[in-house]
Amino acid sequence: MAPNTADERERPPEIGVAFDAVVVGAGFAGLYMLYRLRGLGLTARIYEAGGGVGGTWYWNRYPGARCDVESMQYSFSFSEELDQQWDWSEKYAPQPEILAYANHIADRFDLRQNIVFNTRVTAATFDETAKCWRVETDRGDRVTARFCIMAIGCLSATNHPPFRDRESFRGPIYHTGEWPHEGVNFAGLRVGVVGTGSSAIQSIPIIAQQASALTVFQRTATYSVPAWNEKLSPEYRRAIKADYPALRAKARARPTGFYFPFNMQPALEATPEERERQYEEAWKRGGLPFLGAYGDLLFDKAANDTIADFARRKIRGIVRNPATADLLCPDNVFGCKRLCVDTGYFETYNLPHVKLVDVSKTPIERFTAQGIEVNGTEYELDAIVCATGFAAMTGSFEKIRIAGRNGLTLAEKWQAGPRAYLGVASAGFPNLFTITGPGSPSVLASMIQAIEQHVDWMADCIAHMRDIGAATVEPVEKYEDEWIEHVNEVSKVSLRSTCSSWYVGANIPGRPRVFMPYIGGFPVYVQKCNEVMSNGFEGFVMDGANAKNEHPRVRLTERWRVPLDIEVISPAAVAARRVPVV
């Protein structure tokens, strides 16, 4: 791996430099955007708050961190050579391997020369006269850019609940999303984990192996499906690589942006015995595809009850203490909160030194010098792990002062919930793009595919602007409003809108309750983006053009033209079909 650019901690600030584009963030989104901008011959700078590339995989180094979309699909698809040359070692690659992949991308495509690390963008202000963005960082940089591209991540702003007397705890407090690079040795320690979402579920079994005692503080019980992770054999990899483009194409046609066998039959049309067999088989395959056991599980509560009941019986079959098993059984809609994928999570509660504390009715009262107090009981701990998640989708936007036309800030505009046309741009903020922004499939799809589709679309948009000599691009408010209405309407059709998840901002008190990602399905969304483009970026104003804004040349977006098979892409399409795509 090449070193990062010269010693950034000592570097002088960049003052007055004019870039074609500034990209904020060097996760997968920022890296691919930079690659495409360079391909267009544009000058670009990435500012990245972290000390290296990889984003999520740079920050989330907690024990057990790994992807839960199969690695051979949770990877870039834009380069066939890369697909052929990179070998994933496991079905679900561990964090160090995904981070190594991100570093490989940076080196292979020679991206580091345009990235500055350890630098947080603090402000971006649109200069209406010069028609450019003035970008400021916490390192004193003051640069301009025609385009400002937010690649700041949907799950990158960590959530630190304001636990009373937090600072009084004598031991270390860790957050899974800000894990120390040198690792943590919990051997012989009494450890407390707050939270039971995906990060907790991955880390708890491993922390339990090290700690002398483990206490888990659970506010909401979580559904989790076994990963059945395994090493990938050379034969398996060879078989996929023999026709990788076909797998990628099949993935693009799926609502989730990744491929797995999906049974379209409604659950309630099957007999109880058939359902049991089907769920058993899906459980044996494991992982997120478990939700593909039937076509209506996220749309029909009675159907959902059957899978929820099956999952609860699995928990009761694994966890020996009936009271603990009861506590671990969720009572909400299956798959409403993000489904978790685990290795030995429920089994961990059979270990004699692992304890579960219910904080659903009596919340964590306070941190003490010795530990955590709940309902008058003090649990003594040597270290605390907060697996408390993120201010999802909008949290990293809130940390940057983004001011558009007439000084309106994005925070002001998004006060009652985020507003962006197709999730790619927001009216009043010309030439500001938001990769996997709210209102796009983003976190409901395999995110690398969602990132690639957005970046390709944005790069084609920028290239078209150059073709016609346009200075700025910006959504028309009416189109943006209609899109947001559509996003909201479609979300209501899905049971996913019914619980207090981070999808609706409800994991953090005080946030507006709005279903933020687009649930109509990846291919439905992609088709809409393609139509917008082929209709001359319909719903966007391109200012200052010296040629007619028609028949844009489709460059990169071509590979996202997939046939829309409404039957295969259900259940997301069911929602979009009932609520027509605007």
Place of tokens 């829309």: 564
Site for ligand NAP in 382-421 (CB under 6 A): 387-390
Q: Where are the beta strands (DSSP E) in 3-99?
A: 15-24, 44-47
- Provide the minimum distance between the beta carbon of 202 and ligand NAP in the complex, in angstroms, as a whole number: 5
Output 465 or 514, the one with its CB closest to ligand NAP.
514
Contacts of 510 (CB under 8 A, 6+ apart): none
Residue in this structure with the two tokens 């630098």, named with its chain if needed: 119
The entry of ligand FAD, ligand NAP, none near residue 27 (CB within 5 to 8 angstroms by kind) is ligand FAD
Rounded to 10 deg, the angle between the 244-252 and 234-242 helix axes is 70
**Residue 341 is a binding residue for ligand NAP (CB under 6 A):** yes
Residue 55 sits in the site that holds ligand FAD (CB under 6 A): yes
Contact, 2 vs 105, CB < 8 A? no
Instruction: Tell me the closest approach of the beta carbon of residue 259 to ligand FAD, in angstroms.
Output: 13
Burial 406-428 (b: 16+ CB within 10 A, else e): eeebbeebbeebbbbbbbbbbbb
Tell me which stretch binds ligand NAP (CB under 6 A): 128-136, 192-200, 408-416, 566-574: 192-200
Asked whether position 454 contacts ligand NAP by CB under 6 A, the answer is no
Tell me the site size for ligand NAP, rule CB under 6 A: 28
Identify the residue among 13, 50, 161, 171 touching ligand NAP (CB under 6 A): 161
Q: 273: which 2 tokens?
A: 């015995």
Smallest gap from residue 446 Cβ to ligand FAD (A): 4
Q: Which of ligand FAD, ligand NAP, none does residue 47 bind to, with CB < 5 to 8 Å depending on kind?
A: ligand FAD
The least CB distance from residue 447 to ligand FAD, in Å, is 3
Q: Which residues, numbered 326-355, are part of the site for ligand FAD (CB under 6 A)?
A: none
- The answer to the question of residue 56 lying near ligand FAD (CB under 6 A) is yes
Within 10 Å of residue 140's Cβ, how many Cβ atoms? 12
Rule CB under 6 A: which of 399-458 touch ligand FAD?
Answer: 399-400, 436, 446-447, 451
| Residue 118 CB neighbours (<10 A) | 18
Single out the residue of 19, 35, 47, 457 in contact with ligand FAD (rule: CB under 6 A).
47
Whole-angstrom distance, CA of residue 501 vs CA of residue 497? 8
Q: Is 359 in the site for ligand NAP (CB under 6 A)?
A: yes
Show contacts with ligand NAP in window 36-95 (CB under 6 A).
67-68
DSSP state letter for 201: H
50 binds ligand FAD (CB under 6 A): yes
Does 196 contact ligand FAD by CB under 6 A?
A: no
Instruction: Write out the two tokens for 576.
Output: 């979009």
Residue type, 573: A
At 366 the three-state DSSP class reads: strand
The listed partner (ligand FAD, ligand NAP, none) that binds 48, CB under 5 to 8 Å by sort, is ligand FAD
CB of 558 to ligand NAP, least distance (A): 30
Residue closer to ligand NAP, measured from CB, 199 or 215:
199
330/314 Cα distance (integer angstroms)? 12
Burial class (CB in 10 A: 0-12, 13-18, 19+), 223: buried
DSSP-assigned beta bridge partners for residue 34: none
Phi, psi of 372 (to 5 degrees): -130, 135
Q: Is 35 in the site for ligand FAD (CB under 6 A)?
A: no
Here the tokens at position 415 are 């006060």
Q: Can you list the positions of beta strands (E) in 84-188?
A: 115-116, 121-127, 132-137, 142-150, 173-175
Tell me which of ligand FAD, ligand NAP, none is bound by residue 396, counting a contact when its beta carbon lies within the kind-specific cut-off of 5 to 8 angstroms: ligand FAD
Strand partners of residue 74 = none
Nearer to ligand NAP, 389 or 439 (CB): 389
CB of 62 to ligand FAD, least distance (A): 8
For ligand FAD, the closer CB: 55 or 63 = 55
Question: Rounded to the nearest 10 degrees, what angle do helices 28-39 and 95-108 cross at?
Answer: 10
Residue nearer to ligand NAP on the CB measure, 47 or 101: 101
Residue ranges binding ligand NAP (CB under 6 A): 67-68, 155, 161, 176, 194-200, 202, 217, 219-220, 338, 341, 359, 363-364, 387-390, 443, 502, 507
